[in-house]
Amino acid sequence: MKLKELADKLGARLDPPDATAEIIGVGPIDSAMPGQVTFIANSRYAALAGATGASALIVDDKFPAAGKPLLRIKNTQYAYARAVEFLHQRPREPRTIHPTAVIDPSARIGGNASVGACVVIGAGVEIGEGCTLLPHVVIYRDVKIGRNFFAHSHVSIREECEIGNNVLLHNGVVIGSDGFGFAKDDKGEWYKIPQTGKVVIEDHVEIQANCCIDRASLAETRIGRNTKIDNLSQVGHNCIIEENSMLCAQVGLAGSTEIGKNVILAGQVGVAGHCKIGDGAIVTAQSGTHGDIAAGSMVSGSPAFDHKQWLRSVTAFTRLPELARPPPSTSATGP
């Protein structure tokens, strides 16, 4: 599309306003080619603008002139995401049901569905219109799913779970596996506690590859609206994650954890069971929490505590060998 058209779609201010480049894609700043647009999120990287081969740049309002057309907008990263959507649309799956799919006669699937090879859909399943189920997706009995559901290959959804509208599950995601619950019997051996609850996933949730969301032992495990969960994350039974939170790669939540709204758990964060993390909290990478975290906090370390105090502590820790070294000996000499 013409650069002016792209600017209009993004709500950006074109500088200069009469720039006429034609844009065919989006590229990274260090390898973009003519015909592509790229973005720079921070004016500190202005020097890169002169070296890029891109025909135009998405930048903020304060970015200096760069000798090529600029699309000026407040939220550059969001504009970049939308530009990719406009210019790199993914191929659509055929809206058909593959002959090898096994669908129970009692299942109900909405219109405009795409069901791939070797998909299995159990009894009593209800799926809204516009679903896409890629090969080898398995949906157990009595699952309820909303509109525009997209499941990549080898997704498994266990019995009686509920999924809202516009949910995206990536390869290998397991929804509703048994929670990890065991009690010791009178002989001291582990005895399985039946996991009779379900998982409820609200609208606009995305769960990436090989994540496991355990069903509740009783009642439900719930993933709130617009929450995003990165690869290889584990959500234990009876956890509650409220809306618009983000769990980065390899996060692990033990059972009955409560995560508030707009929380960010960075990579490899571990949260002990029955903890509450308040709205807007940030837990930095590889931290471990063993208690409640107040709303708005930023914590680091294991056990996690205030991030600024943790930075000071780490600085002191690196000096411990120097502090522990004994002072050089002094020998007295006689007259």
* Residue reference for tokens 């009779």: 196
Tokens 């690196």 — which residue?
A: 318
Contact of 143 with 157, CB cutoff 8 Å: yes
Contact between 276 and 292 (Cβ < 8 Å): yes
Q: Of 173, 183, 180, which is closest to residue 153 (Cα–Cα)?
A: 173
Q: Which residue among the candidates 152, 170, 204, 237 is catalytic per the annotation?
A: 237
CB-CB contact of 52 with 69 (8 Å): no
Measured distance CA(43)–CA(49) in Å, rounded: 10
User: Which residues, 6 or more positions from 99, have their beta carbon under 8 angstroms from its beta carbon?
Assistant: none
Provide the Cα torsion 241, 247, 250, 255; round to 10°: -10
Q: Which long-range contacts (CB under 8 A, 24 or more apart) does 116-125 make?
A: 116/153, 122/159
Strands 138-139 and 120-121: parallel
Is the sign of the CA dihedral 172, 177, 179, 185 positive or negative?
negative
What does the H/E/C string look like for 15-35? Answer: ECCCCCCECCEECCCCCCCCC
Among residues 233, 292, 282, 284, the alpha carbon closest in space to that of 261 is found at: 282
- Can 237 be counted among the known catalytic residues? yes
Q: What angle do CA 128, 133, 135 make, to 5 degrees?
A: 160
Do residues 222 and 183 make contact, with C-beta atoms less than 8 angstroms apart?
A: no
**Residues marked as catalytic:** 237
